[in-house]
Homo-oligomer: A and B are copies of this chain.
Amino acid sequence: MEQNKTPELRSGEVSNGSEVQNDATVQFIGTIRTPYTSRDLCPRQGKLDGPDCRLELFAQWHAALTGIEKFEHLDVLYWLHQSRRDLVLQSPRDNGQTIGTFALRSPVRPNPIGVSRVRLIRVEPGILVVKGLDCLDKTPLVDIKPSRCEFTSQAPEKAADTPL
Chain A residues proximal to chain B, CB less than 8 Å = 1-4, 21-29, 36, 40-45, 60-61, 63-68, 70-71, 75, 77, 79, 81-85, 88-89, 92-93, 98-106, 109-111, 113, 115, 117, 140, 142-146, 148, 151, 153-161, 163
Take A3-B84, A113-B142 as given contacts and tell me if A155 and B93 are in contact as well, using a CB distance cutoff of 8 Å. yes
Contact flag A63-B85 (CB < 8 Å), given A26-B24, A75-B115, A115-B115: no
Q: Contacting A24 at CB < 8 Å: which of B25, B115, B145, B160? A: B25
Chain B residues closer than 8 Å to A22, beta-carbon distance:
27-28
CA–CA, A155 to B108, complex, Å? 12
Contact of A64 among B40, B88, B143 (CB under 8 A): B88
- For A105, give its contact among B25, B63, B148 (CB under 8 Å): B148
Given contact pairs A75-B115, A98-B66, A111-B142, A40 touches B103 in the complex (Cβ within 8 A)? no
Q: A70 vs B103: C-alpha distance in the bound complex, in angstroms?
A: 9
Question: Of B42, B43, B143, which one neighbours A110 at CB under 8 angstroms?
Answer: B143
* Max chain B Cβ within 10 angstroms of own Cβ: one of A2, A24, A81, A160: A24
Supposing A42-B160, A43-B161 touch, asked if A65 and B21 sit within 8 A by C-beta, the answer is no
Residue contact B41 to A160, C-beta cutoff 8 Å: yes
Chain B residues, CB < 8 A from A67? 99-100, 103
